[in-house]
Structure 1
Amino acid sequence: MPFLVLGLLLWVGAHIFKRVAPVRRAELGTSGRGLIAALIAAGLVLIILGYRAAAFVPVWNPPAFMVHINNLMMLIAVFVYGMSATTGRLRGKMRHPQLTAVKIWAAAHLLVNGDLASIMLFGTMLAWAVAEVILINRAGPWERPEPGPAKKDILLVVITLVMFGVITAIHTWLGVSPFPG
C-alpha cells in the first residue's frame, strides 16, 4: 500500500503543481516540463506497482449488476476523452473532456470495486479530477473552439468502439474480465 499512496501523491502533486504554484512552475521554465513528466511517470509506475501488490481488504461488496453500469460508463468515458482530440461538431461542447472522462472512469470503477486499494486509487483520481476542474475554471474564462465537420464525430464513434475493445482486451489479458459470465 505505501507504493500506491506515494504514487498517488506524486501523480496529484505533479499535476496540480502548476495550478497551485504557477510562479514556481514558471521559474522552472521549459526544463521543468521534463521534471514534471518524470514525476508523473514515476507516480504512475508506483500506482501500478502499489495497486497490484496491495492486499485485498474488502470494504463493501458491489452488486453484480454494477458491472453492466460500469461498462456503459466506461464506453461513455472513452467517448468523452476522445472529444478532447476531435475536430468535429462536438469540439467545444465540453470544457474539460479529459478530466470529465477521468471522473466518469473513476466513478465507474468505484461502482464495481469494493476493496480498500481500489477505493483509494479511484477515489483519489476522482477527487483529483474534480479539483483540477475547479482550479482551471478559477484561472480564467474559456474560449470555446469553433466546431468542425460532422464526419469527424462519426470517426470519433468508430475510434471509441475500437479503443473500448482494446481496453477490454487489456483488462482480460491482465486477468480482470470486464464481461464476467
Structure 2
Amino acid sequence: MGFLLLILGIALWIGAHVFKRVAPERRAAMGDKGRGVIAALLGLSLLLIILGYRGAGFINVWYPPEWMVHINNVLMLFAFYSFGIGASKGRHAQKIRHPQLTAVKIWAVAHLIANGDLASIVLFGSMLGWAVAEVILINKAVPVWEKPSEIRPNGDVKNAIISAVLYVIVAGIHVLLGVYPFG
C-alpha cells in the first residue's frame, strides 16, 4: 500500500504543477479559486508522498558508500541556499533562472546518492525528472529570461544565514523521525 500511495502522491504533485504549463488557458479560466484548488491538491500530494514513503517496504537496490552521506549533507546546504535565492534578491538572483527548481534538483541528486532503496529511488528520481521537465516547459513557454532588477546588497548573506538555520531545523526533524542525516 505504501508504494501505491507514494506513486499516487508523486503523480498528483507532478500533475498539479505541470497543469499550468500544459493547459494554461484552462488554468487561467479557474481564476483565483484555481490557486486554492492547486494548493489543496499539492497539500494532498505531499501527505500521500509522506505516508507512502514511510509505509513503503524497504527494498534495497544498491548500497551507497557511507561517505555519500557527507556529500549529501554538503549538497543539501546548497539546496537550501538555492531555494532562497529568489526571495533574498541578492546578486545570485541574477545568475540562476530557476532557483527553486535548481534546489529540487540538488535535493533529489543528494538523496539519490545517499539512499539505495527502491522508495527513495522512486521518490527522488521522479522529483528530479519533474524538476528537469518543469524547467524545460518554462523555458519553452518563456524563452527570454528577464533578470530581476531589484538587488539587495546583503540578500545573499541573509539567504546564507536563513539557509543554515533551516538546514539545522530540517536535520532535527529528520532525527525526530528516526532518520539520522549525519551517518
| Segment of structure 1 superposing worse, 146-155 or 66-75 | 146-155
* C-alpha deviation, 1:38, in angstroms: 1.1
| Identity %, equivalent residues | 58
1:84 aligned counterpart, secondary structure: helix
Determine the structure 1 residue equivalent to 2:177: 174
Residue in structure 1 matched with residue 30 of structure 2 by the alignment: 28
Match of 1:83 in 2: 85
Cα offset for 1:90? 2.1
Structure with the largest fraction of helix: 2
Measure the CA separation in 1 of the matches of 2:126 and 2:89.
31
Which of 125, 148, 153 is 1:150 aligned to?
153
Distance 2:63 2:149 in 1: 45
Equivalent residue number for residue 102 of structure 1? 104
| Runs of at least 5 residues in structure 2 that lack an aligned partner in the other structure | none
- Corresponding residue SS for 2:92: coil
- Asked if 2 retains the 8 angstrom alpha-carbon contact of 1:103 and 1:129, the reply is yes
CA displacement at 1:32 relative to structure 2: 1.3
Could you tell me how far 1:84 is from its partner in structure 2? 1.6
Check if 1:130 corresponds to 2:132: yes
Instruction: State the partner residue of 1:43.
Output: 45
Aligned equivalents of 1:151, 1:57: Cα separation in 2: 46
Q: Distance in 1 between matches of 2:157 and 2:36?
A: 36
Alignment of 1:45-84 (within 5 A): 45-84=47-86
Partner residue of 1:159 out of 158, 162, 173: 162
Offset of residue 36 of structure 1 = 1.1
Report the Cα distance in structure 2 between the residues aligned to 1:112 and 1:94, rounded to whole angstroms. Answer: 26
Q: Of residues 93, 96, 99 in structure 1, which corresponds to 2:95? A: 93
| AA at the equivalent of 1:132 | E
Q: Whole-Å Cα distance in 2 between the matches of residues 9 and 157 of structure 1?
A: 32
Map of 2:122 onto structure 1: 120
Take 2:172 and 2:61, find their aligned partners in 1: how far apart are those partners?
28
Look up the match of 1:111.
113
- For the aligned residue pairs, the C-alpha RMSD in angstroms reads 1.0
1:74-126 residue CA offsets vs partner (Å, 9 max, x unmatched): 01100111102112222221100000000000000000111111100000100
Aligned pair 1:5/2:4, yes or no?
Answer: no
* Alpha-carbon separation, structure 2, partners of 1:44 and 1:175: 19
Q: TM-score when scaled to structure 1?
A: 0.96
Q: Equivalent residue of 1:90, what SS?
A: helix
Q: Is the 8 A contact 2:88 2:152 kept in 1?
A: no
Aligned residues: 180
Q: What is the one-letter code of the residue matched to 1:171?
A: H
Whether the 8 Å CA contact 1:4–1:49 is kept in 2: the answer is: yes
